[in-house]
Amino acid sequence: MTKMTAAQAAVWVLEKEGVTQAFGVPGAAINPFYAAMRKQGTIAHILARHVEGASHMAEGYTRAAAGNIGVCIGTSGPAGTDMITGLYSAQADSIPILCITGQAPRARLHKEDFQAVDIEAIARPVTKWAVTVREPAQVPGVFQQAFHLMRSGRPGPVLIDLPIDVQMAEFEFDPDTYSPLPVHKPVCTRAQARKAISMLQEAQRPIIVAGGGIINADACNLLVEFAELTGVPVIPTLMAWGAIPDDHPLMAGMCGLQTSHRYGNANLLESDFVLGIGNRWANRHTGSVEVYTKGRRFVHVDIEPTQIGRVFAPELGIASDAGVALREFIAVAREEIAAGRLQPRSAWAADCLHRKQTMRRRTDFEQVPMKPQRVYQAMNEAFGAETCYVSTIGLSQIAGAQHLNVFRPRNWINCGQAGPLGWTVSAALGVRAADPSRRIVALSGDYDFQFMIEELAVGAQFKLPYLHMVVNNSYLGLIRQAQRGFDMDYCVQLAFDNINMPQDAQPERGYGIDHVKVVEGLGCKAIRVHRPDQLGAAIAQAEAWMQEFQVPVVVEVILERVTNIPMGVEIDKIVEFDEAAPAPVAAPVSAAALAR
């Protein structure tokens, strides 16, 4: 046993739980923890420019690879409240992150002390657990329980609040005897798997809806194996995009009101049975329950028992980790094959593939100012299957989901349910910190980019290079499009005549902020693009600068002010724009996919 401070014990537990990276902002009430972290020397730290940015960096870090848990640290008061958006985002998308906050001394709690706020109560609704530790000797156990909770069942975030006197108090602790608690996950039984497969066997046009739980379970290979074994097409949710490669013949497209493919909606609407695995039936995916469920039966597999029946009642619900369920489904499917009972699905799969090959939206617009669709065409041409995209919300994300291609798990890192503006820069930096070699391309509209643009300085300081595509129409584009239903275009224009731009700098002067100068002022590099024929060269230059300077590089594309992106209020009533497309565009199918 060794006598140490509670802060030192906490850092030891972090090390034993596998933490090697943290993001945060020091402050008076958390300085004892920082002193312990510095003394231990085993956890690297990246200094954010905003504590909310640190929380989103932790999210990006977790989302980048299976097993990662991002840690963000801040002082008392506003640091904790700044983290609430990150906690909400992580809770909504089932992402485990650990937020550690400093706090006023225990004797000053609930006495309106400087920067003393009841962060435990504030954070409770958006965490799996929020706790203020009031006894120093409880610190190791609290941190141990935090990791147990983050990893067990449906993953999610935890906040630990540490009063400064608790951090500095000493007690006996032996880190050599510390061991993480076993992780609990519900499991699918063989009987449940047999029932699910028997229902699938009865269907004529079954679909698998693959959710983010498959990504969390690191079970994407099992998903593809099960789909290929049964011949059943797969519709990934936005949180699972990449779980089956876009060029796989059984990848049937995404379904939804916004971030969807025309062929994905059509394939779902033609189905008569849906096997949902690790998904939540989120409203952007389903639209109304009446339209989504009409004429089809459902099996729902989710790690969280209370998710089953929350949106609508399936014919069969199974509380299970997605990976365990898929293993059981595969075993039962093999039994059916051995007995010669597995129903062939080749005709149905061919129908879905035909829709995929003939219902793709148009991107080959050549006008200036550019349409956003043309930008995504250039991105598909420039970036290969290994590219990891990071995005959050807005027309940029919606159009990106409609037009980009994703081929691997965790190569679409997206804030799905919360969608806070400003998430993208910070999350991309967290992804880079987790993986120094991955090709990372972030995607933002101009407003998302402006929200937390200061975090680019973090990328410059800590040498975290990535490429950021900014599509600039000087509008709150998604809100402007939504305002069409109210017959208005009100308070959503970002354009103004920037007096610091040269008179002949058109159209930049009328687009307001000079993003290139701001980015350069933050220590990074930027290029502005006006015409489609400039896109390829700009991307190549950006990637060369990333290699040379090891900083984030921004490619800003000046768009036409108003482009309406396909979306609707029901999956069978999506309003399409730019319908006058040329000949149908074939879906990307690689040689590897054809060989499957």
Q: What is the DSSP string of 422-448?
A: THHHHHHHHHHHH-SSS-EEEEEEHHH
Domain(s) of CATH 3.40.50.1220: residues in the chain: 190-358
Asked if the model's pLDDT at residue 508 lies above 80, the reply is no
Strand, helix or coil for residue 542: helix
Q: Which of 471, 476, 555, 558 is catalytic?
A: 476
What pLDDT was estimated at residue 97? 98
Q: Which of 13, 19, 46, 51 is catalytic?
A: 51
What pLDDT was estimated at residue 502? 76
Domain 2-177 bears CATH identifier 3.30.1330.20: no
508 versus 353: the higher-pLDDT residue is 353
Structure tokens at 318: 């199974």
Nearest to 79 by CA among 155, 41, 23, 17: 23
Asked if the model's pLDDT at residue 590 lies above 50, the reply is no
CB 265 within 8 A of CB 255: yes
Residues 52-67 have a mean pLDDT of 95
Question: What's the rounded Cα separation, in Å, for the pair 453 and 53?
Answer: 10
Superfamily of chain region 372-565: Thiamin diphosphate (ThDP)-binding fold, Pyr/PP domains (3.40.50.970)
Residues 158-182 have a mean pLDDT of 96
Question: What's the rounded Cα separation, in Å, for the pair 398 and 445?
Answer: 11
Residues 278-304 have a mean pLDDT of 95
As a whole number of Å, the end-to-end CA separation of the chain is 57
Strand, helix or coil for residue 254: coil
User: Buried b / exposed e across 234-266, counting CB within 10 Å, b at 16+?
Assistant: bbbbbbbbbbbbbbbbbbbbbbbbbbbbbbbbb
Residues 6+ apart with CB under 8 A from 394: 421, 444, 445, 447, 448, 476, 477, 478
What pLDDT was estimated at residue 537? 95
33 versus 497: the higher-pLDDT residue is 33
Express each pLDDT in 95-144 by its tens digit.
999 999 999 998 887 877 877 899 999 999 999 999 999 999 999 999 99
Express each pLDDT in 402-435 by its tens digit.
999 999 999 999 988 887 888 999 999 999 999 9
The residue to which tokens 């028997």 are assigned: 198
Structure tokens at 439: 């090709």
Express each pLDDT in 229-245 by its tens digit.
999 999 999 999 999 99
User: 438: burial class by Cβ within 10 Å (0-12, 13-18, 19+)?
Assistant: middle
Residues 6+ apart with CB under 8 A from 222: 214, 323, 326, 327, 330
CB 363 within 8 A of CB 373: yes
Residues 137-155 have a mean pLDDT of 97
User: Buried b / exposed e across 175-213, counting CB within 10 Å, b at 16+?
Assistant: beebeeeeeebbebeeebbbbbbebbeebebbbbbbbbb
Question: What's the rounded Cα separation, in Å, for the pair 540 and 553?
Answer: 11
CB 257 within 8 A of CB 287: yes
Is 585 among the catalytic positions? Answer: no
Give the amino acid at 28: A
Q: Which of 479, 492, 516, 585 is catalytic?
A: 479
**Percent with pLDDT over 90 in the chain:** 80
Residues 75-102 have a mean pLDDT of 96
Q: Which of 13, 214, 326, 421 is catalytic?
A: 421
- Which helix (H) or strand (E) covers residue 586, if one does? none
Strand, helix or coil for residue 289: helix
Nearest to 319 by CA among 299, 296, 338, 302: 302
For residue 132, what are the CA distances in angstroms to 32, 80, 89? 16, 12, 21
Is 522 among the catalytic positions? Answer: no
Superfamily of chain region 190-358: TPP-binding domain (3.40.50.1220)
Would you tell me how many other CB atoms lie within 10 Å of the CB of residue 450?
18
CB 222 within 8 A of CB 201: no
Is 342 among the catalytic positions? Answer: no
Domain(s) of CATH 3.40.50.970: residues in the chain: 2-177, 372-565
Question: What's the rounded Cα separation, in Å, for the pair 503 and 414?
Answer: 39
Least confident of 120-129, 301-310, 423-432, 568-577: 568-577
* Torsion on CA atoms 249, 254, 255, 256, rounded to nearest 10: -170
Q: Which of 25, 30, 133, 299 is catalytic?
A: 25
What pLDDT was estimated at residue 572? 93
For residue 422, what are the CA distances in angstroms to 80, 380, 489? 18, 24, 23
What pLDDT was estimated at residue 582? 40
What pLDDT was estimated at residue 509? 66
Backbone φ and ψ for 235, nearest 5 degrees, come out as -110, 105
CB 390 within 8 A of CB 428: yes
CB 457 within 8 A of CB 49: yes
Q: What is the DSSP string of 465-491?
A: --EEEEEE-SB-HHHHHHHGGGT---S
- At 505, is the pLDDT very low, low, confident or very high (cuts 50, 70, 90)? low
